[in-house]
Structure formats: C-alpha cells, structure tokens
Amino acid sequence: MEEIIISSKFSAYNSINELPNEIQNLFERAMGAQKNAYAPYSKFRVGVALTLDNGEIILGTNQENAAYPSGLCAERVALYQAASNFPESKILKIVITAAPEATGIPSPIPPCGSCRQSIAEYEIKQETPIEIYFMGEKGKIYKSASLKNLLPLLFNKKLL
C-alpha cells in the first residue's frame, strides 16, 4: 500500500477591506445580487460575481424550484450566462457570498461539489486558472488560486 497526501493552499483575509479594490467591488456586486436570490425553500441565499478577460462582470444568484432538483446554484447561473453570452472569453475570477436568511454564517462557504465540477470544466477548457474567493455573510474570506486547488482529483474529459 502507498499513502498519497494531497494538500490545498488558501489565502485568508480577515475582512473585505484587506482585498484589492477590484475584488472588493466584485464582492459588493455579489452581495447585491445575493438579495435577488430565489430561495423560498432553503432560505439560503447565494450571490456570485465573476469577471471575464474582456472586462465584463457577470452576476448570478441561486434559483430554487419546488420540483427539486430543478433549481440551479448561483455559480452555475453565472458560469452558463458567461459562456452563453461571451463564449470566447476566459473567466478570470469568481467571488461567492452566501448566508441563510435567519442567521449569519461567519465562516467562508465554498462552492458545492456540482459547482466545483462545473467551474473545473471551464478552467480546463480555457487552460488558465480561475481565482475563487468565497465568504459567508461576514468574517473571513478565502481565496483559492484555482479550481484545481479546491478539487485536486477532478474528473475531466481525459478520463472518458
């Protein structure tokens, strides 16, 4: 038997004020979008802002549906909108903010597994890393230099 150790490295910021102005702006946009999330069932609102290499900023919110699992996470709403409207552009950065309506979560909330796999598809396609920043309603912010850092053993088309 062989033991394999896989590690991930994140940058942690204590507040939005420690981030570069560009990322602060993206978080402000994501928090604004989060208010528009359609989350009548989970009461868990997520907002996303992503930047493309052409300068466009794309927003996304989670969209729930009574016919579960017909809803869609905020990350995938933004990703698919970016790919549909700007198919030749590369995704540079994604910022995610999330919180339940009733209570504030001070710890960073990363993308779910389905969203990680969806982000991986675009990172592999564009052959450049996508920076991912995520936070709860308040508190620390984590930055991952790439999706592969969040999902080191990712499934991709080479495995098909």
Amino acid at residue number 31:
M
Cα(41)–Cα(114) distance, integer angstroms: 19
pLDDT in tens, 107-124: 899 999 999 999 999 999
pLDDT in tens, 56-90: 999 999 999 999 888 999 999 999 999 999 999 99
From residue 7, give the alpha-carbon distance in Å to each of 10, 46, 147, 151, 153. Answer: 10, 27, 13, 10, 11
Residue 75 known to be catalytic: yes
State the average pLDDT for the chain.
94
Q: For the chain, which residues make up each domain, given as ranges?
A: 10-159
Annotated catalytic residue within 64, 75, 123, 131: 75
pTM score above 0.75: yes
Q: Is the CB of residue 99 less than 8 Å from the CB of residue 136?
A: yes
CA atoms within 13 A on the CB side of 45: 16
| 10-159 CATH choice from 3.40.30.10, 3.40.50.2300, 3.40.50.300, 3.40.140.10 | 3.40.140.10
